[in-house]
Homo-oligomer: A and B are copies of this chain.
């Protein structure tokens, strides 16, 4: 690692996104998703499963208040395990003082406040801020005096706290609270929630660590690792960095903490003969993190972990950790990545499958995992601006992440298959995780709020900065301002992405400024034209680095040719042998039944990439590129049995129409397929 190459995301307050493509999505999040989510948090949406999130904070808050009133030492009610998801016996009349929902339900608030923080950084909104401040009051009122803040245990009984780190998400709740608190502080300058998060983190730092007598556990669902680095960056308190690194150092050491913990639970329950059943690789705790080299287990957990590892590697100069990050990155990108930027080949454990196992129909490819892959990619970019990371980040963003939300912002995919047959989803229980249309909002509301926080902060993936360089990783029209020493450069960007590769960046300065502007050359282009106005150009890691003294009005223009790519997968990917997919720029395309009729598997591509026509069309109120591909369709036999003599199939001409993958399933129920027979 070379510290000179390190960069950090540009503060959201220094960015404006005015891009038509992104404006639409960001406004949906601001105007639809964030307000809707607040209603969900308060169980006020009729057709969505209740969150119970604010209910739980209020219930915990009452416990805190009553304790003060009585002046007695606080004793939490006796712990009763009510399952991973606790639901009221009578849904019409939930009990006021009970915990309901999933064990991690507190994070619904944390994710929401994080998105709110990002949104307020760019769009002041006094009413939203007032709502958020009131919510923060409710949350902070639930915090125990010692700093502990997880309503599941506060309500159900603190005697069981920290007895099941593997499953019960206490440290996950800490992580999300920290992320939300930092974002809200950065977006508004208000630190009430940040102080609460610090107190919870301090409580954990006192309890967990390498020192004798401290707990040697670590999160069952990773996120605290990267969150604590943000807390360290915003507060400068070393103990958060130490705690994060402790969690990473400890993970996967023998004896395995989750196994020992499970044995202790079994012993306490008198089940002495029962074997511990912990699946260590599910939690990436099967071996020390620096020794890991294959991306395994729950995909969201994995990329959250790897993000934390990249952060700690950067902060501590930990080369072994960085080497592990690179191996894990290569494992994903070389063997386990969907062409839509999705990850997680199997719904069993929502996990990575084995190398090259990338099924299209039973894919999990969770929206949250694609978001997590962006986290990981951005953190790798922060260590070294290498466009390979940005290419994957862009692929995940424009395809799986955007596919997660309907074009009207009102429904969401959690699972993002690359091939869908509605009859199969309806009749085949193996596909019970695959929904052929987006869903309203689940009880386990991870993906919609994750999309909200990602989209609201998308500019932090577009731009990072080091002392002397401003990196542009993704292209979107707008402005970004960076200080070079005592001076500022504002870069005004006009971009045609994702529909064309024309980019113009105009410099606004009060007086000439010396600095480097680094622009990514996308991996999907070749023969890029750069007009740098005479500035010194260096190509480094796929970035055009333009250095010199910038005058007001200086402009850089890029022309990134954006041809249609007809793509094949490595032949080891059994699912896709003999098939092709189409990409153009960062966008992966797919065939939908609405355009091509049903039984999409009967289609075959009968041309080269050069024969594909590209057009811009307004489909369902959204301007989008559409590809037209000359093809053939197998004609179904009129009679005959299930099996017959192999003979050349009868085919008829077909014009295959492809739309961007992210835009699928906005026109009702139907088949979809990314890969077509070639």
Query: Could you tell me which A residues sit within 8 Å of B by CB distance?
Result: 89-90, 273, 333-335, 337, 339, 346-349, 353-354, 357, 362, 421, 423-424, 427-430, 565-574, 577-578, 580-581, 599, 601-602, 609, 634, 636-637, 640-647, 649, 677-678
Do B339 and A643 touch across chains, with their CB atoms under 8 A apart?
A: yes
User: Which of B421, B577, B677 interacts with A634 by CB under 8 Å?
Assistant: B577
For residue A677, which residues in chain B have a CB less than 8 angstroms away from its CB? 577-578
For residue A644, which residues in chain B have a CB less than 8 angstroms away from its CB? 567-568, 570
Instruction: Check A642/B577 contact, CB under 8 A, given A348-B429, A429-B349, A572-B599.
Output: no
Report how far A357 CA is from B430 CA in the complex, Å: 12
Nearest CB of B to A377, in Å: 15
Report how far A568 CA is from B636 CA in the complex, Å: 13
Nearest CB of B to A597, in Å: 14
User: Which of B424, B609, B649 interacts with A357 by CB under 8 Å?
Assistant: B424
Do A571 and B333 touch across chains, with their CB atoms under 8 A apart?
A: no
Do B645 and A568 touch across chains, with their CB atoms under 8 A apart?
A: yes
For residue A354, which residues in chain B have a CB less than 8 angstroms away from its CB? 423-424, 427-428
Q: With A347-B430, A646-B678 given, can you name 10 additional A-B contacts, CB distance below 8 Å?
A: A89-B273, A333-B641, A348-B430, A567-B646, A568-B645, A568-B647, A569-B642, A571-B602, A572-B636, A577-B602
Report how far A602 CA is from B570 CA in the complex, Å: 11
For residue A423, which residues in chain B have a CB less than 8 angstroms away from its CB? 354
Do A645 and B424 touch across chains, with their CB atoms under 8 A apart?
A: no
Do B570 and A353 touch across chains, with their CB atoms under 8 A apart?
A: no
Report 25 cross-chain contacts, Cβ distance below 8 Å, ordered by A residue. A334-B641, A335-B642, A346-B430, A347-B430, A348-B429, A348-B430, A349-B429, A353-B427, A357-B427, A421-B574, A565-B645, A566-B646, A567-B643, A567-B645, A567-B646, A568-B644, A568-B646, A568-B647, A568-B649, A570-B636, A570-B643, A571-B636, A571-B649, A578-B578, A578-B677
Per CB-CB distance, the 7 closest pairs between chain A and chain B, nearest first, are A348-B429, A354-B427, A568-B646, A566-B646, A580-B646, A574-B601, A571-B634
Nearest CB of B to A41, in Å: 27
User: Which of B90, B427, B567, B643 interacts with A569 by CB under 8 Å?
Assistant: B643
Nearest CB of B to A364, in Å: 11
Report how far A353 CA is from B430 CA in the complex, Å: 10
- Closest B residue to A358 using CB positions: B642
Do B428 and A353 touch across chains, with their CB atoms under 8 A apart?
A: yes
Nearest CB of B to A210, in Å: 34
Do B346 and A429 touch across chains, with their CB atoms under 8 A apart?
A: yes
Nearest CB of B to A332, in Å: 10
Report how far A349 CA is from B339 CA in the complex, Å: 33
Instruction: Check A428/B333 contact, CB under 8 A, given A570-B643, A637-B571.
Output: no
Nearest CB of B to A457, in Å: 28
Nearest CB of B to A136, in Å: 37
For residue A581, which residues in chain B have a CB less than 8 angstroms away from its CB? 643
Report how far A354 CA is from B422 CA in the complex, Å: 12
Report how far A406 CA is from B428 CA in the complex, Å: 31
Report how far A415 CA is from B357 CA in the complex, Å: 22
Report how far A120 CA is from B367 CA in the complex, Å: 63
Nearest CB of B to A200, in Å: 35
Nearest CB of B to A354, in Å: 4
Nearest CB of B to A144, in Å: 35
Report how far A484 CA is from B658 CA in the complex, Å: 70
Instruction: Check A568/B643 contact, CB under 8 A, given A348-B428, A353-B427.
Output: yes
For residue A601, which residues in chain B have a CB less than 8 angstroms away from its CB? 574, 577
Do B571 and A645 touch across chains, with their CB atoms under 8 A apart?
A: no
For residue A577, which residues in chain B have a CB less than 8 angstroms away from its CB? 601-602, 634, 677
For residue A647, which residues in chain B have a CB less than 8 angstroms away from its CB? 568
Report how far A602 CA is from B571 CA in the complex, Å: 7
For residue A565, which residues in chain B have a CB less than 8 angstroms away from its CB? 645
- Closest B residue to A574 using CB positions: B601
Report how far A640 CA is from B571 CA in the complex, Å: 11
Report how far A247 CA is from B347 CA in the complex, Å: 40
Report how far A572 CA is from B423 CA in the complex, Å: 13
Do B566 and A645 touch across chains, with their CB atoms under 8 A apart?
A: yes
Nearest CB of B to A539, in Å: 20
For residue A574, which residues in chain B have a CB less than 8 angstroms away from its CB? 421, 601
